[in-house]
Amino acid sequence: MSLQEVKKKLQDIVGKEWVSDEPVDLIPYSRDLITDGLKAYPERRPDIVVMPGSTIDVQNIMRIANQYHVPVHLIGGGVTLLGGSIPVTGGITLDLKRMKGVRLDRENLTVTMEPGVFVTTLTGYFKHLTEKENFPWRPYFTGAPGGSLNNATNIFQGINKFAGLKYGVGLQNIVSLEIVLPDGSVLNTSGGAGLFGVNHWMQGPGPTLTYLPFFALGSFGICTKITWSLYPMPEACQSIWAYYEDFEIATECLIELLHKEIGRGLFIMPSWTQAAYSAETREEGIRLAKACPKYMVGMGVEGTKRAVAFQTELAHRIIKKHGGRIAPKELVEVYRGHEQNIKGWGQSNSPRLMRHLGMIMTNMAYLSVDQVPEYVRLCTEGTHKVRSYMDFPEPNFGEVASGPQLYTYQWGHFVIAEFIFAYDHTNPEHCKAVWECMHNMGAVPWKMGTGPWTLGRDPFVPNLTGNFYDTARKLKNHLDPENIMNPGIAFAD
Amino acid sequence: MMEEKYIIDTLKEIAGSGQVITDPAALERYAGDGSFVKPMKPLCAVKPATVEEVQGIVRMANRLSIALFPFSSGTTYQGAHIPTERGITVDVSRMNRIDLLDSVARNAIIEPGVTFEQLQKEAHKVGLQVMTPIGVPASGSVLATYLECTPLYLWPRYKTWEVLTLKMVLPSGEVMGTGQMALPDSERPYNWATNFAVLNRLFFCAQGTLGIGVKAAITLTNVPRARKLIFIPLEDIDRVGEFSQRLMHQEANDEYFVANSLYLACLLAEKREDIEALRKSLPPWTMVIGFSGTEEAEVAYKEEDINDVLKQFGLKGMDALPGLHDARTRLAQEIEHPQGMLNQRRYKGACNYIACMASRTQLKGFHDLTLKALSSRGGVSPDLGFMIMPLNFGGSYYFEPNLYHHPDNREEHERTRKAFLEISRTLIHAGGYFPRPYPLWAEEVYFRIGTYHRKVKMVKEMLDPGNIMNPGRLALP
Amino acid sequence: MKFEFDREMWQKALFCARCGSCRTVHAEQIEGLETGLQCPSGTNYFFESYYPSGRSYAAVALKRGELEWSDRVVDVIYSCTTCGFCQYTCERTNVNKPTDIIRWLRSEAVEAGVGPLPAQRAIIQNLETYDNPWGQPRTRRTIWTRGLPFKIKDLSQGKEKAAVLFYPGCTYAFDPKIQPTLRFLASLMQEAGVDFGILGAAEKCCGSTAYNLGYAKVLGKYGEENIKTFNQLGVKTIVTPCSGCLNTLKNLYPQVDACAFQVRHSVEMLAELLTEGRLKPKYRIEKTVTYHDPCHLGRHAKIFDAPRTILKVIPGLKLIEMNRIRDYSFCCGGGGGVRTGKIDFALATAERRIREALDTGAEMLSTACPFCSQNFLDYLERSGITFEFGDVVELLHRSVFGEEATVKIKEGRS
């Protein structure tokens, strides 16, 4: 069947206005900043973009795609910038932005949402509930403002930086999914589908399939509903910022804080990212970065007023014990870029990192906290070896545009370390330098713990995870025998 | 018989001749667990000590199409490990190494034979403790208990993420790690997320049908410097949901559960003879809340936060219980070194629990339905204990009726068995969620969720095409 | 000096990270589900191409020769109300300038001969023929002055002089539904003793509609002519009730030539007159009112407080704010040529905003912009929804002069 015929069938399902093969409509799905610049993955337009309005639409689209062997890719907000939504094999791109349903379950303390719900939409919704309806519960998440809470932040990223200390990574806050499988059937996992009184339990019955699609970038199906846990909206909230010159000492302080099991979010950032997040303009960000000591320990503390008072005092004690300098009040105001995150309203100002030079690259590793200084040392060495990177003129790299970040999860049982640096993706010299830095850092995380940012299609990855890749691949083959779901992205083809 | 000899000889080659059990008396241990599943002895039991030995056993099973039944400590008490007549029990209790005790990350990497008792002792040496279960004794396997999602005392505080990563021997005989354990070179495989997919939770509540857990990275917690337990007497559970959500909103609690007088009496009585009297002196229901801190001031503010809410509802937390002045010490001791089901069994010799989950508004209804189902059978009903654990800040509740009876009394045993099935069925059809579909529930549970069950079946077929791993569980062929 | 769009504007589009900031209000500023629905065209059409990010990607593709002009491309480019929210938020987050990029795209479309949309071409033809975008004879520009109980100075010949040139703009002048706002303003200025005059039929369009459609040369032409006229007449202060005119005269004209005059919006002037005690609102208006910040008055010109000051001094009037106000106000749907080219989209956007206004529980919606007024009134009429509408100026007039006098002024029966 020709694409035109497929297009006609899709139009019959969703309506003509929701299907397009116009180049101007296809182009935004063909690239992002990682295909530019670094050219890490090739640009490719889909043949057709479709906007379903409901789960039934998605099911019908998948049946057509399956029947006529048309690959299907999907996009939520498209903010993750790892080429996950770019249709490697053409075909159909499903843009899920029309599906904007939100359903609150006050009894079970969950919220269920469709993939077109953005991070900020949900933030606004819960702020309203908290302040106008005295409903003191909310989910925790962070992400770029336009990130979809289905496809990006959770199914892919799973990162929950500012609440991870207490509540774990993103997927630890998810209880169930509704997923349309490649054959068009719908699967509700765990307590979903409304068949039980309880919908706030993520396991079972028996083996849980809820977490299967995470990090799989849509390879297993299309998540059309996702149910999150709600957490207490606290009576009080407080941010704590402390300066350190030395990353190792900052880490020691962090370890002691972790062992106290206080706070909701705890992290270390280099001053340049903190400054970039906080400043209104790029110039202000650079000034701020240069004016601050190299690293900041940041902490969000929340709970009852007594809890916040106790935890703040304890945190201050520990910070001072390790030689840290608590940021004065007037500077806390400057860090307003992070304050919303500290307060738990999950909207990341990560786009401001882009503003620094245009794009950022990050090498990420999942570690134990005491491995981090070694990881940082190796990454710093790897970056500093690349003179072409270190010697870029102002606003430069090296000192004010690269550095390690450390986020803590589940009371410090594991952490995520990130070596993050800015570059101008329109400058070929910058891009070349970045590749070199990444290459130098390449072996580090595999030994110490890899992050989810590498994809199956990166040639070295399948070998490094042994049977895990094979098992996941088998599962993929079972669920998607025609290999139509986002082919060539999470799994090598 | 020739085949049997061949099997046993092969197993001896793999695990060592002293590690294959064929003596019928010794095999009794694997035949039953006090559940209502018909006891059955395996052909033999084998006790491997290494992953390679486990692999060898699994490959042999595949070659000869023999069913394997993983066994660590048999402490789920629901018949999940009871073998078929020609099956082989794989007893992994010899694999009891603690590979790593990490006092910085506060994690441990353990093998499946490591018990709570063993790990608790080692963890205490570095100021840490293991999260213990409420219904499983300290002789139970940590890995198996966690894999089966048996409720832990600290779930109300820490949710259910005590297992970080796993290493499994798959039914094919291959070894697979989940999360960071998938990376052979990873020195501290703690993060349970990884690329391509997240498969960890596939193996939970799977009753060993998808593989044998041979290693896990698990979390430990602090031994608190200061801690308190309070007991709040209740006449009924009508408002438990309301109390729980408000109390848990304060985020001050560690342990949190509600028990009726019988359950609590069984749990805490020092001696079996004391249970009956204690049962009578205890209030009909008791809400138990524990909280702790790294210093006294922390415990003090948490107590105030909890009391703020208790006052709103006209409730009061006590240090002791009527008839049990040292309730605090007893419970603290129980939490640290649980006896769990062994204590419950003391009462009449047998105890059978139903693992169900309820929403806040279902609690009272489920309680009433349980009583009704019991009384509808006529005759003398078995005694009922209840344990309710609010989870997810009171968004969901573990609801566990317990039935006590004398196992040697055939009639009582049979009555209790029927009551168990009747209550289970009633709760399932009333919308109760059964996350652990053990043999006596699996059909009914999965009947309601056909699509999901087909996917479970698909996963099973994919991972275990020979259907050798605990076949027949999860309502699968 | 000629006005021109930055030829390298598209370079900035390369930095679009598709973070979504342009679609949403920042968490610290807002509550409510409409937080993620800030881009009028994206909210309406959903395709990526209809969001600022999608248009940035289109700009890059056009420049790289990867995209050719087509009806759909033109539709994408002209389905934007130029509300400027994307630029406001992107400037605080990244370096992109999405609204400027859209205007640049429009200028490219005009140069390529493919833009604007067919219905919008009439605007340019009208400007050429009548010096106003609405195709009305020049003499009709002063219809609004008829029936006023006082004479307004005619500054056009240079014989009469005044401290203030009152510049009504084309939209208020030629639309009978909203003309009364000009009469109210004149009446209030007269009452306050402001020394003002008009150019009458000699007034020409400021060129803002041309600018928004991508006709840089047309803007340049009107800019040169008007600046010359104002300078020659010795105009020192221009007061206009139209924010489109305000932004054009104040921000764009200095790029064309040296301007010897300052430009103010009428609400700024009115707020000052109230503060100075030169206007006394004494009649009560017992209404709850919600105020819509017009994009061009609020976000573009940063005038948020003056209209609120006016509403708050009216005795009996209670002001309730919507969720999305001030810098993050949601567009009425009336700007960017959309009312002319895509009326359905304009009205759909109006509906969204009106529903938000209704959700506040207010009895009346108020604003201070001719395009917002037109679009809201149009939607209310077509939909049959019962919701009162009143321009800020009209409400003030009612409070200063009373109901009866206001009706007379409205109807030109003085």
* pLDDT per position as a tens digit, B178-235: 988 988 878 889 987 776 778 889 999 999 999 999 999 999 999 999 999 999 999 9
Count, residues in chain C: 414
DSSP A284-311: HHHHHHHHS-SEEEEEEEEESHHHHHHH
- Can you give the pLDDT at residue C9? 76
- Average pLDDT, integer, range B24-29: 95
Least confident of A326-340, B234-248, C248-262, C338-352: A326-340
- Can you give the pLDDT at residue A398? 46
Q: Over the stretch B64-73, which tens digit does the pLDDT of each residue have?
A: 999 999 999 9
Q: Is A215 close to B198, i.e. CB distance below 8 A?
A: yes
Residue A401 or B413, more confident: B413
Beta-sheet pairing, C364-367 with C288-291: parallel
Q: Is B245 close to A172, i.e. CB distance below 8 A?
A: no
Q: Rounded to an integer, what distance in angstroms lies between the CA atom of residue A93 and that of residue A95?
A: 6
User: Which amino acid would we find at residue B421?
Assistant: L
- Can you give the pLDDT at residue A344? 62
Whether B151 and B250 map to the same domain: the answer is no
Number of other residues whose CB lies within 10 A of the CB of residue C227 = 20
Q: Tell me whether residue A288 is in a domain.
A: yes
Residue B124 or A117, more confident: B124
- Can you give the pLDDT at residue A434? 83
Q: Inform me whether the pLDDT recorded for B364 exceeds 70.
A: yes
Whether B180 and B197 map to the same domain: the answer is yes
Q: Does A283 touch chain C (CB under 8 A)?
A: no
Give the domain range for residue B281.
225-347
Whether A82 and A113 map to the same domain: the answer is no
Predicted TM-score (pTM) of this structure: 0.92
- Can you give the pLDDT at residue A193? 63
Whether B254 and B273 map to the same domain: the answer is yes
Among the three residues B347, B379, B403, which one is the final residue of a domain in this structure?
B347
- Can you give the pLDDT at residue A214? 81
At A49, which CATH number? 3.30.43.10
At A133, which CATH number? 3.30.465.10
Give the domain range for residue A145.
102-232
Q: Rounded to an integer, what distance in angstroms lies between the CA atom of residue A139 and that of residue A257?
A: 24
Q: Is A490 close to B194, i.e. CB distance below 8 A?
A: no
Q: Which residue of C has its CA nearest to A284?
A: C92
Contact A367, A415 (CB under 8 A): yes
Of A198, A208, A472, the CB nearest to B433: A198
Q: Rounded to an integer, what distance in angstroms lies between the CA atom of residue A315 and that of residue A163?
A: 17
Plot region of C383 (φ>0 → left; ψ -120 to 50 → alpha; else → beta) = alpha
Which chain A positions have a beta carbon within 8 Å of B161's beta carbon? 168, 172, 410
Of B200, B357, B446, the CB nearest to A201: B357
At B28, which CATH number? 3.30.43.10
Whether A391 and A415 map to the same domain: the answer is yes
- Asked whether at least 3 C-beta pairs link B and A within 8 Å, the reply is yes
Average per-residue pLDDT in chain C? 93
Q: Enumerate residues 335 to 394 of chain A having a beta carbon within 8 A of any beta carbon in chain C.
A: 336, 339-340, 345-347, 349-352, 354-355, 358-359
Q: Rounded to an integer, what distance in angstroms lies between the CA atom of residue A214 and that of residue A232?
A: 25
Dihedrals φ, ψ of C155, to 5°?
A: -90, -5
Whether B418 and B461 map to the same domain: the answer is no
- Average pLDDT, integer, range B348-358: 95
Q: Tell me whether residue A488 is in a domain.
A: no
Q: Inform me whether the pLDDT recorded for B303 exceeds 70.
A: yes
Sheet holding A72-75, edge to edge: A19-20, A48-50, A92-95, A72-75
Which chain A positions have a beta carbon within 8 Å of C26's beta carbon? 120, 145, 340, 347
Whether B106 and B175 map to the same domain: the answer is yes
> What value, to the nearest 5°, has the Cα angle with vertex C90 and ends C89 and C93?
95
Q: Over the stretch A169-178, which tens digit does the pLDDT of each residue have?
A: 888 888 898 9
Q: Tell me whether residue A463 is in a domain.
A: no
Dihedrals φ, ψ of C154, to 5°?
A: -105, 110
Q: Inform me whether the pLDDT recorded for B315 exceeds 80.
A: yes
- Can you give the pLDDT at residue A153? 37
- Can you give the pLDDT at residue A60? 97
Which range, A36-50, A268-282, B21-35, C17-31, is most confident?
B21-35
Which chain B positions have a beta carbon within 8 Å of A220's beta carbon? 197
Based on the structure, what is the number of domains in chain B?
5
Whether A342 and A310 map to the same domain: the answer is yes
- Can you give the pLDDT at residue A462? 67
Q: Is B431 close to A195, i.e. CB distance below 8 A?
A: yes
Whether A126 and A158 map to the same domain: the answer is yes
Q: Inform me whether the pLDDT recorded for B369 exceeds 80.
A: yes
Among the three residues A232, A251, A275, which one is the final residue of a domain in this structure?
A232
Domains of chain C, earliest start first: 9-115 (no CATH), 124-268 (no CATH), 273-411 (3.40.50.11810)
Which chain B positions have a beta carbon within 8 Å of A106's beta carbon? none
Of A303, A414, A465, the CB nearest to B195: A465
Grouping H, G, I as helix, E, B as strand and the rest as coil, residue C263 is strand
Q: Which residue of A has its CA nearest to B246?
A: A232
Q: Tell me whether residue A198 is in a domain.
A: yes
Least confident of A17-21, A425-429, C243-247: A425-429
Q: What distance in Å separates residue C21's CA from the closest CA in chain A? A: 5
Q: What distance in Å separates residue A338's CA from the closest CA in chain C? A: 10
Whether A23 and A61 map to the same domain: the answer is yes
Q: Inform me whether the pLDDT recorded for A458 exceeds 80.
A: no
Q: Is A144 close to C19, i.e. CB distance below 8 A?
A: yes
Average per-residue pLDDT in chain B? 94
Radius of gyration of chain C (CA): 21
Whether A379 and A391 map to the same domain: the answer is yes
Whether A333 and A388 map to the same domain: the answer is yes
Q: Inform me whether the pLDDT recorded for A274 exceeds 60.
A: yes
- pLDDT band at residue C145, thresholds of 50, 70 and 90? very high
Grouping H, G, I as helix, E, B as strand and the rest as coil, residue C239 is strand
Q: Is A340 close to C28, i.e. CB distance below 8 A?
A: yes
Which range, A207-221, A363-377, C329-343, is most confident?
C329-343
- Average pLDDT, integer, range A199-228: 86
Q: Rounded to an integer, what distance in angstroms lies between the CA atom of residue C271 and that of residue C310?
A: 6
- Average pLDDT, integer, range B2-29: 94
ipTM for this model: 0.94
Whether A161 and A55 map to the same domain: the answer is no
C119 forms beta bridges with none
Whether B65 and B118 map to the same domain: the answer is no
Which stretch of DSSP H or E encloses residue A93? Answer: strand A92-95
- Can you give the pLDDT at residue A416? 87
Q: Rounded to an integer, what distance in angstroms lies between the CA atom of residue A307 and that of residue A324?
A: 22
Least confident of A366-375, B13-22, B237-246, B414-423: A366-375
Alpha helices, H only, A134-181 = 164-167
Q: Which residue of C has its CA nearest to A124?
A: C31
At B323, which CATH number? 3.40.462.10
Whether B281 and B331 map to the same domain: the answer is yes
SS3 content of chain C, % helix, strand, coil (to 5): 55, 5, 40
Q: Which residue of B has its CA nearest to A105?
A: B395
Q: Tell me whether residue A258 is in a domain.
A: yes
From the list C72, C60, C102, C105, the residue with the least C-alpha distance to C85 is: C102
- Chain centroid to Cα B195, Å, comes to 29
Among the three residues A425, A448, A471, which one is the final residue of a domain in this structure?
A448
Whether A374 and A243 map to the same domain: the answer is yes
Whether A301 and A427 map to the same domain: the answer is yes
Share of chain C above pLDDT 70, in %: 97
Which chain C positions have a beta carbon within 8 Å of A22's beta carbon? 49, 70, 72-73
Q: Rounded to an integer, what distance in angstroms lies between the CA atom of residue A167 and that of residue B459?
A: 29
Contact A462, A492 (CB under 8 A): yes
Whether B338 and B363 map to the same domain: the answer is no
Q: What distance in Å separates residue B347's CA from the closest CA in chain A? A: 31
- Can you give the pLDDT at residue A397? 47
In this complex, which chains have at least 3 CB pairs below 8 Å with chain C?
A
Integer angstrom CA distances of residue B428 from A308, A419, B356, B400: 43, 50, 8, 13
- Can you give the pLDDT at residue C15? 83
- Can you give the pLDDT at residue A75? 79
Which chain A positions have a beta carbon within 8 Å of C34's beta carbon? 124
At B206, which CATH number? 3.30.465.10
Q: What distance in Å separates residue C43's CA from the closest CA in chain A? A: 9
- pLDDT band at residue A152, thresholds of 50, 70 and 90? very low
Q: Does A279 touch chain C (CB under 8 A)?
A: no
Which range, A195-204, A367-376, A420-429, is most confident?
A367-376
Whether B339 and B237 map to the same domain: the answer is yes
Q: Which residue of A has its CA nearest to B309?
A: A304
Which chain B positions have a beta carbon within 8 Å of A229's beta carbon? 392, 395
Q: Is A449 close to B186, i.e. CB distance below 8 A?
A: yes
- Can you give the pLDDT at residue A127? 81
Whether A110 and A53 map to the same domain: the answer is no
Least confident of A118-132, A203-217, C164-178: A118-132
Based on the structure, what is the number of domains in chain A?
3
Q: Which residue of B has its CA nearest to A473?
A: B196
Q: Does A280 touch chain C (CB under 8 A)?
A: yes
From the list C178, C182, C165, the residue with the least C-alpha distance to C397 is: C182
- Average pLDDT, integer, range A363-369: 83
